[in-house]
Structure formats: structure tokens, C-alpha cells
Amino acid sequence: MWERQERVAAREGELLKRRIIRLGSMQGDRWRQIAVLYRLADGYGRRVSPHSFCHGMADGTTGCVTGVCCACKPDVFAFEQELLDRLPKRLANRGTCCPFFNRAKKNCGIYGVRPFACRIYFNQGRSRISCRNPAEETLQLFDLLKRHLAEILGPYGGGYHPSGADREMTDLISS
């Protein structure tokens, strides 16, 4: 079973990489490129998720129900940083997990506009350990793509931290 999972992840990762390289070389509207980029990442997720440790723990609209993978700040590029800075954050999450994760509902509060890194983060490991710490394959894929993603999304900024006037996080109403 794990060998098949590894083959699927490797094949899909290579396909995603080729498509993103091709997308970056295409001239045209930046917003269209970003939309296509996220569709590519979501397609990767739909094909990899059934073969990952995450299968059965996530739905297609709000993400993983455990939230273990949201224990860190999401990796972002300049475009994503600007977008996320405009969104309300959860004050209760300061320093403990992603500022957009709804711990009460156990879902992603920004699933539809989540960063690229979150879109390709699936536990490809053989245990729950890789839910908290990405498997080596996931890290390698993201590292291989960074340069190409930066051509579309702007410079890589590391883990998300609110900037400017948004440093003071606003609390969302939990319902």
C-alpha cells in the first residue's frame, strides 16, 4: 500500500512541477496565472489525498478536521502575505497555531483562499507524525517549486506573520 502511495505522490508531484514551470513561462495576466496555479495545486490535492494519511480526515471545503497540520505558520509568498494581511485572524491562536484555523469548528477559516503551501500539504508519511512535521517528500516538492512559484506569487516570505497595521490580530466570532 505505501509503495503505491509513494508512486502516486511522486508522479503527481512531478506533473505539478512541470505544469507550474510551464505556467511561469507563459506571458499574460498575473491574476489568471495565480488562479491557474491554485487550480493546479487543488487538482494535485484531489489526486494525492486519497493515497495519503489524511484520507478520510478532510473534506473538500474546510480541510483536515484534526488541525494538527495547522500547528505552524503557513509558508507564504508576497501575494499571499498581502491577501492574508487583509483577513481577520484568531486572537486565541496567537503563537499556538495558524491564525486562521478555527479550533472550535476544527476547520480552516480561509480554506478557499489558503496559501499554495497549504494546498499541497498532505501527510505522505506512514504515521501521524508527518501531520505535524511535513514528510520529506512534501518539503522537497515545495523547495523545488519555490523559485517557479516566486515568478508568479512574488518573493518567498517564509512562515506567515501579520505585517504593518495588521500586527494586532482581530478576533473572529466563533459560532
pLDDT at 115: 94
What does pLDDT average to over the chain? 79
**Bigger pLDDT: 73 or 123?**
73
CA–CA separation, 118 vs 114, rounded Å?
6
Report whether pLDDT(132) > 50. yes
Three-state DSSP state, 16: helix
Average pLDDT, stretch 45-72?
69
Query: Which range is most confident: 34-48, 81-95, 152-166?
Result: 34-48
Question: Can you say whether the dihedral through the CA atoms of 42, 48, 54, 58 is positive or negative?
Answer: positive
Average pLDDT, stretch 26-42?
90
Percent helix, strand and coil across the chain, each to the nearest 5: 55, 10, 40
**Bigger pLDDT: 77 or 103?**
77
CA atoms within 13 A on the CB side of 15: 15
In eight-state DSSP terms, residue 107 is E
User: What is the share, in percent, of the chain residues with pLDDT greater than 70?
Assistant: 71
Residues 143-158: pLDDT tens digits?
999 999 999 999 999 9
| Phi–psi pair at 126, nearest 5 degrees | -100, 5
Report whether pLDDT(11) > 70. yes
In eight-state DSSP terms, residue 170 is P
Residues 83-128: pLDDT tens digits?
999 988 877 666 667 888 887 887 888 888 999 998 888 766 565 5
